[in-house]
Every structure is written in structure tokens, then in C-alpha cells.
Chain A
């Protein structure tokens, strides 16, 4: 098998999407931690357009954008499939991956707010997004993929682990058992899946890292914003 490398960063949920996919399929790979404040020539060579992680390098060929990487991994290594067999079910799974790409970023907009109208707006968008997941995505299933996790669960990993950190730092609570019962249960169930449980950033370290990042961001924005 050709060599597989993953260039990522330890706090990034997008990095973890790829780690989870590779580990669920039992694909051996070399992990390379990137310093985004001092980007390596390798990253710049493999992702000249966006200069971002994650980048999967398979046999020397780079694939960028985590959602594209997930599909690539599924195409190349069909064992332990992340997508269902049925074409319609596959389309539904892809719909939710697309939804994760388009709508989940609102939690990061919330992360960057301190209060006022801006925070209210980001909070409202986040709640709408979570409501869609609860009522249309998950409904009464254990996972988005049904009885076991699939590509959509992986795509929503941010909501299971990173959102809690955002809630702590911003001082808002979005997912509660009485407002989003299925989603609340899902966040617990998802993190209990062995591969996921063994491959998550330490919560305390993550909290510290993102607190520092948030403080730096807010300081650079200046007063009165």
C-alpha cells in the first residue's frame, strides 16, 4: 500500500475528522503536526491555495478540504464503510455533511463574540442549526449513520466535543437534555465509540488553547467592538 501521511494540528476538529476515518478503517498513516504560525514548506507545497490543514498525502499526492478527504478515503478504502450502500441513503448522508460545512461554522462565529447583538445573532443561528439536526438529521436514531457512526457523525464531531468548549468560554448553553434530547444523547454516545474516545484532544488542554486564541482575537479587534 502506498504511504499515507496526514498533516494536521492537535486542536482542530477538521484534523480529527480525518484521523477518525483512517482509524475506523484501520489504515496506517504517519501523522505530522503542523505549526500554523510558522507554516512548513511541505504544507505550502501540498496546499498552495488555502495553506490549511488537514491535508492527506497518499503516495505523494495531496488531497485538501476535510469533506473531500473523507470521500476520498471512502473511495479508496471501502472496508468499514462510512457511507451506506443504498444510493438514497448515501445522498442523505452527504446532505448532512454538506450541512455541516455550511451551517456548523456559526458556532465559531459565536466563539468570537463577547455579547450584544452580535452574540444574540450567532446564538440564534447556532440554535437553528442544532434544531435542524435534532428534528431532521438525527430524529430518533442513535447516530446520524443509524446504529453505528458514519460520515455525517464524523462531520458533526465539532458539535460533540468542541461546542462544549465554546459554550464554556462564551458563557452560553446551547445543547441541553430538555431542549435537544436526541442531540444531547448523541454527544455522549458519539464520544463513547472506542475509536472516537481514544482520539479526542484533552478537554482541559483544548480549553486553555482556545481561551488563549479567543483572548488574542478579542484583543486584536480593539475596544468598543
Chain B
């Protein structure tokens, strides 16, 4: 029973899976009008303002949130454009024709897609402010490895869990917990003093990824009336996320609490068999 409760807690992350699945179905019927402005015209429009940064996003998306955190840490002014994922704008379809997803960062008219790639871009382009990636290549490789682990393997497990029921679901959930344990054990070395602690707003690549996936666990708690990350089972992840949740930049980028609660509840309502 406890496994089921914890499964539902991860619904926050699965928000985007449900949404993105629906997008694929809708996109098949979305027609692309030939009178839509070309990317060249869009680029010229963007280039009219030097160094203009625009972020195309969706308010509930943890992947968009990552980019917002990075932009704020670096003190980069940007315009935010909310996308209705059920009715994607011509801009989004032009800027990310391959995946048609958010986030997309547009800088000087050039689009960059995929949240982790956007973080690398931000790190390389704006040299001032805290470094998002470590300077040392080996440390950098470790951070990329674990971010990739969360982004691919962990989320794949979670996806399997949200799409299955009965015995298959129990098995998938067990896998989710095992992956969390692997992450817990694998990243211990990042904190030689034991407890994660952040100076100012010095969040790095892996911190941002973790925070975006689990940082809203309190919302899940209220929406689904139970704990997200068990401090007994995964004490490092719990203390890591808790430490980050205290930072102003993390609080600022948190989606509106009540809105998120009713959004998760409505998704669960729509998706229950």
C-alpha cells in the first residue's frame, strides 16, 4: 500500500509525461499554415533587440523550471512566453520542429532546445556569475553522468510506473526506488561533510536537475496527502532537496501552490481508469 502512495507522489513529475503524450496526438492534426512567418523573419525580429533572451515554457513543467533557475542564478534578464501545449504557437513549432516541446530558449534569434543543453549553453555564454558546471573535466563528467541518470534511467522507470497497473506497477515502483537508492549512494561523494549546504545561490547543474524533479514535493503532499521523499529511505536526497528549497531562487520559481495542487488533482481525475 505504501508503494502505491509514494507512486502517486511522483505524479508531479509525471505531469509532463501526460501532457506531452497528449501533445503528440494533437500535433498529427495541427496544420501548418504557409502564411506563417519564416524563421528568418522571426530571427530578424529577435535580432532587433541586442542579446534578447526569450524562454518558451509551460508553468507546471519541471524542465522549464530548470532553465528559469539557471537564468535567475546568472542574473540574466529574459522574457517568458507561456505556451498552451494543447495549442502550440507557430513560434514553438518553428523553434523546435524536431520535438515541438518546451523549454526552448531563444537568444539573439537563435533557438536552443532540451533543458540540459540549455543549461550548458547558459554556462558557456554568460561567463559572469556562478558557474553552473564545474571547471574540472572529471568533476564535470561526474555531474553530467548523474544528471543523465536522472533524466534518462530514473524518468524512464517513473514513466513505466505511471503507465502500468497491478503487478507490473508494483515491479516498476520497486525499480523507481532502487534507482533512487543508486543515486543516493552514487552521489554521496559530492558531500564530504555529509549534509548538502549552499553558499548564496550557488546551485550547479546536478542541483538544478534534482531540485526541478523533487523540489515541489510539498505540493504532492497536500494534493495526495502523503510524503514525497522518505527521509529514512533516502536521507541524502531528502536533505539535499530540503536545503535547496530554502533558497530564494528556488522559492521564486516554484509554480503557484494551489494552482499546482488542483492541476495534479485534475490530471489524476482525468487519468484514473
Contact = CB atoms under 8 A, between A and B. Distances in A.
A207 interface: no
B150 interface: no
B189 to A, nearest CB: 12
Contact of A76 (B108, B112, B137): B137
Interface string B137-150: 11011001100110
Given A67-B148, A91-B112, A101-B152, A136 B120 contact: no
A177 interface: no
A103 to B, nearest CB: 9
A72 B186 contact: no
B117 A98 contact: yes
B5 interface: no
Given A49-B186, A61-B138, A63-B138, A94 B145 contact: no
B186 A87 contact: no
Interface core residue of A58, A98, A99, A136 (most chain B CB under 10 Å): A98
B58 interface: no
A24 interface: no
Nearest to A88: B110
Nearest to A64: B145
A88 B121 contact: yes
Contact of A71 (B97, B108, B124, B144): B144
A75 interface: yes
B125 A68 contact: no
A115 B107 CA distance: 46
B125 A87 contact: yes
B102 to A, nearest CB: 15
B161 interface: no
B137 A72 contact: yes
A68 B144 CA distance: 7
Majority secondary structure, A binding face: helix
A101 B98 CA distance: 15
Nearest to A99: B98
B66 to A, nearest CB: 15
A65 interface: yes
A27 interface: no
A136 B98 contact: yes
Nearest to B109: A88
A177 B66 CA distance: 41
Interface string B237-269: 000000000000000000000000000000000
A196 B78 CA distance: 43
A91 B121 contact: yes
Nearest to A96: B98
B98 A132 contact: yes
Contact of A91 (B97, B118, B149, B186): B118
Interface string B113-131: 1101110110011000000
B182 interface: yes
Contacts of A72: 137-138, 140-141
Contacts of B107: 88
11 contacts: A63-B138, A65-B145, A71-B140, A71-B144, A87-B121, A87-B125, A91-B117, A91-B118, A94-B114, A95-B113, A136-B98
Interface of B: 97-98, 107-108, 110, 112-114, 116-118, 120-121, 124-125, 137-138, 140-141, 144-145, 148-149, 152, 182, 186
Given A63-B145, A95-B114, 20 more contacts: A61-B138, A63-B141, A65-B145, A65-B148, A68-B144, A68-B145, A68-B148, A71-B140, A71-B141, A75-B137, A75-B140, A87-B125, A88-B108, A91-B121, A94-B114, A94-B117, A99-B98, A101-B152, A102-B152, A136-B97
